[in-house]
Every structure is written in C-alpha cells, then in structure tokens.
Amino acid sequence: MIPVRGVEGARIGVLGLGRSGLSAARALRAGGAEPVCWDDNPEARERAEAEGFEVADLSHPRAFETIASLIVSPGIPHLYPSPNKVVAAAQEAGVPVDNDIGLFFRSLALPEWDNFDLAPRVIAVTGSNGKSTTSALIHHLLLEAGKSVQLAGNIGRGVLDLDPPENGGIVVLELSSYQTDLARALTPDVAVFTNFSPDHLDRHAGLGGYFAAKRRLFAEGGPDRAIIGVDEPEGRYLAGQLSEGPTDDRVIRVSVERKLSGPGWSVGARKGFLSEYRKGRQVASIDLRNVPGLPGAHNHQNACAAYAACRTLGLAPRIIEQGFASFAGLPHRSQRIAEKDGVIFVNDSKATNVDSALKALQAFDNIRWICGGLEKEGGLAALAPALSHVRKAYVIGREAAQFALQLEGVEAEICTEMAQAVQSAMAEAEAGDVVLLAPAAASFDQYDNFEKRGEDFMAEVRSRL
C-alpha cells in the first residue's frame, strides 16, 4: 500500500466504494486521515463498514462542513453530462475534488528515495484504444528484462494498493479519460498516447472535451518523455505542442500508417516490421509478423508504443524482441481461444467501439463475425474499409435487426443471443475461416461488462468443440 501523504487528521470524503474507492479509503487511513465513505449501493456500504470505515450520507446538506476534500471513483460524473449530487455539493461548498490517481502522484515519492541509486519511475499510458495491451506489454517486457515493475490503474491493481517502489522500481499505469480528467496531480516520467477516436462523448461533452481529458496527462506534469501516436490529427497536434523542434527527442512519434521522416526519434511498423529511427538513421528493426500475442496492425501500434517506452528506460532492442515473443496477449483483446479443423476462434470482446472493431476486422481474413450490442454514437459507417474481410455477420443484442441494417453489402443473420450466433458461425465455418467476436458496441444491453460477454463467447465455443 502507498499511504496518502499530507492528510494527517483530515476528514476526507470517499464517494464510490468499488475497487479504487476502497483502496483510496485504506490508503487515506494509512496516511492518518479519517475517511468518510459513501456509496448508493447498500452492499458496498456494508463492505466499508466491515473494514471499520465511517459511512455517512455525503449528500446530506451539512455533510461537507467538516470534510477537507472529496475523492471520487472513476465511474461517477463530476461535470458532464451533469455532476453527481455529492460532487455538486462538494463544489458548492468549495471542497476540492480529486481521485485516487491524484492521491497516488502526490504521495509516491518518499524521503528514502534520496538514498536510492536510481529513483523509481512511472510510465502512464492513455489513448482511445490499445491502452490495456500497451500497458500490459510494457509490464511484460520489463519483467522479462529482470526489472522490478508493477502494473496498476485501469488494469490490474488499484494504484494505491501498489507496494512502494524500491530502488530502480518502475510503475506502469493504464489511465482512462475518466481518471486523467479529474486527477489534481499527474506527473509521470514517461507518458504514452496510443491513438485517438470518438468515445465517452457524453461524459466529456463532446470530442474536444474527450481529447482535453487525455491531453491533461501531458500538459499538467510535463513528462520527461512523451510517446505519441501520430496517425490521427489529435496525436500530431499533441506531439507538436510538446516538442521544441524537429530534433527534440523528448517526443517519440509512433505510426503504423506512414513512414515517419526527419531528424527526431520515431518508431513505426509497416508490413509487419517495427523500425526505430533516430537522427534520420534506422537503429533497429523487429519482425512482428509471427508474434502470436500481437496480431494485426493495431497490435503492431501497441508494440511500437511499448517498444518506445522501454527504449526510454534503456532496454536494448534484442531484449525487447525476446519479450515480444513470449507475450501471450490479454483476455478479450484479440485473444485466440481455440482452433479446430482449420477454423480459428478469436475473442475480442473489448472491441466496444467502431474504431477498435475496425482494427480487429483488419487483422484477419475470411471472418465469421459475431457483432452487435448497445450501439454507440456515430453509427457503423467507419467499418466499411474492413467489411470485405467478412464472409458473414452474426448479430447479437437487443437491437440486432437495426444493427444489421447498417452492414451494407454483408450477409447478416439476426441471432440476438450469443449461443445462436456461435452455433450458426461454427456450423457454417470452413477451413481458413476465423470466427471473431468483435462487437463494435457496448455490452450493457445483455451483459454486466465486456468481460462477461467474452466469457460467454468462450464458453459457447468450447462447449461445441
């Protein structure tokens, strides 16, 4: 645990008692604070009480008379589409609002670091797609290289549950826009921006607000190194904002769509080969085509970002290449789960928006595509460039018929339920086909989360093998 610093004797409100909220309450208590916890869910309140925390309704009109600050869990809106009533009450009372990420950054450094040979470092990863895979891959590469490294944030453990890093230790954080938007402190040593596409627009009042939330990771604390995916205008803008000029190697540009030129530091992947360039010269190359845990151009982009992050820490290209080969990938993200009679089954339930589904479709040919769910804003037109890879779509979800109507030129079967989609796809699949779950939609019309949806897909496939 990382005790929160500078809170001794203060009463601190904690709103939301899931993983990050309870973790924050424990770390606040360890730092000498008096957490006052609240969650609308009675079961969550009972869990907090069982750990000895004070539980009080923070929406009470006088709740903030003795509260010094409020710590808010990521799923709770603090501004758009409208602030939670407790957050609004805190703001009305002039009480600062923060989250566990802000507490982490302000509490991480300790006096004993002065005696370390190498101060611990933090790598923070954000972006629209690929954050989890990039974060997990960086963690894996550093572990394989023998480094002391921990993974947390939007993946793995809560940030305040981490052990205080030791001499030369590294912390890898995956950070969502919900987390970067509210944190009062953001000071990573290395910050990574994978890519950008529309998502969470209601929470950020549009595309500009969503980008602004991502940009805070780079603008607030000024990382020593910034690794920026520049295949979208937002990434190119961000790289330009951070760089002092073409030769400024504090900014490492990443692309999988074009060959980057110029005297700066860049990492790109084209036709399955990763290349690193510095001062106009190629200094390394890695063949990614046969790395089983990183299929497709979108995973090659993740590999480039992870490679660049590890290079900033001094890892040699050959060490990184060895780590790539042993990376198994993450559950529900281009996860190869089975193969039978020449048919491959891939679970990409994490493809909850059109952009991530597009990249999944572009990674394979001869696809039996299981798709559908709670459709997000913008429609499905952006999938058009990859629909030629699809032999047939098997559409699930409560609005399956409406979803299928948007798949112009693709044969589609309205299945509604996962069991029917898997049964039909497996019955019609031939050798060389890929049965791919890449929904291009959220899961909440039928499942609690994308993990449950992916688990259902895997269970249906395996029950029929």
Q: Are residues 211 and 262 in the same domain?
A: yes
* Domain stop point among 98, 129, 149: 98
Strand partners, 172: 123, 151
Read off the CATH number of the domain in which 293 is found.
3.40.1190.10
Give 201 or 213, the one with higher predicted confidence: 213
Residue-number span of the structural domain to which 32 is assigned: 11-98
The per-residue pLDDT for 290 is 87
Strand partners, 270: 273
* Domain stop point among 34, 68, 98: 98
When pLDDT is cut at 50, 70 and 90, the band that residue 221 belongs to is: confident
Q: How many domains does the chain have?
A: 3
Q: Are residues 390 and 449 in the same domain?
A: yes
- Residues of the chain with pLDDT > 90, as a percent, come to 87
Q: How confident is the model over 122-144, as pLDDT tens digits?
A: 999 999 989 999 999 999 999 99
Is 52 annotated as a binding-site member?
no
Check whether 370 has a pLDDT greater than 80.
Answer: yes
Tell me, yes or no, whether 216 lies in a domain: yes
DSSP one-letter code for 145? T
Tell me, yes or no, whether 3 lies in a domain: no
Tell me, yes or no, whether 194 lies in a domain: yes
Tell me, yes or no, whether 2 lies in a domain: no
When pLDDT is cut at 50, 70 and 90, the band that residue 458 belongs to is: very high
Q: Are residues 274 and 360 in the same domain?
A: no
Say which amino acid occupies 357. Answer: A
Q: Are residues 139 and 80 in the same domain?
A: no
Name the least confident of 232-241, 265-274, 331-340: 331-340
Check whether 220 has a pLDDT greater than 80.
Answer: yes
Phi and psi at residue 65, in whole multiples of 5°? -65, -25
Q: Are residues 316 and 360 in the same domain?
A: no
Q: How confident is the model over 312-356, as pLDDT tens digits?
A: 999 999 999 999 999 988 889 889 899 999 999 999 999 998 988
Tell me, yes or no, whether 6 lies in a domain: no
Provide DSSP, 108-129: S--GGGGG-SS--EEEEEESSS
Is 128 annotated as a binding-site member?
yes
Q: Are residues 123 and 214 in the same domain?
A: yes
Is 259 annotated as a binding-site member?
no
175 contacts: CB under 8 Å, gap ≥ 6: 101, 124, 125, 126, 131, 153, 154, 217
Is 59 annotated as a binding-site member?
no
On whether the CB atoms of residues 214 and 196 are closer than 8 A, the answer is yes
Tell me, yes or no, whether 36 lies in a domain: yes
Q: Are residues 376 and 404 in the same domain?
A: yes
Is 271 annotated as a binding-site member?
no
Q: Are residues 282 and 367 in the same domain?
A: no
Say which amino acid occupies 54. Answer: E
240 contacts: CB under 8 Å, gap ≥ 6: none
Q: How confident is the model over 407-439, as pLDDT tens digits?
A: 989 999 999 999 999 999 999 999 999 999 999
Q: Are residues 319 and 349 in the same domain?
A: no
* Domain stop point among 66, 98, 130: 98
Is 261 annotated as a binding-site member?
no
Q: How far is CA 134 from each of CA 175, 193, 356, rounded to the nearest angstrom?
A: 11, 10, 14
Is 452 annotated as a binding-site member?
no
When pLDDT is cut at 50, 70 and 90, the band that residue 51 belongs to is: very high
Averaged pLDDT for residues 361-383: 92
Q: Are residues 121 and 269 in the same domain?
A: yes
Q: Are residues 258 and 373 in the same domain?
A: no
- Residues of the chain with pLDDT > 70, as a percent, come to 100
d(Cα 458, Cα 465) in Å, to the nearest integer?
Answer: 11
186 contacts: CB under 8 Å, gap ≥ 6: 101, 102, 105, 124, 180, 216, 217, 220, 221
When pLDDT is cut at 50, 70 and 90, the band that residue 442 belongs to is: very high
On whether the CB atoms of residues 151 and 135 are closer than 8 A, the answer is yes
When pLDDT is cut at 50, 70 and 90, the band that residue 378 belongs to is: confident
Q: What is the pTM of this model?
A: 0.86
Check whether 377 has a pLDDT greater than 80.
Answer: no
On whether the CB atoms of residues 228 and 202 are closer than 8 A, the answer is no
When pLDDT is cut at 50, 70 and 90, the band that residue 200 belongs to is: confident
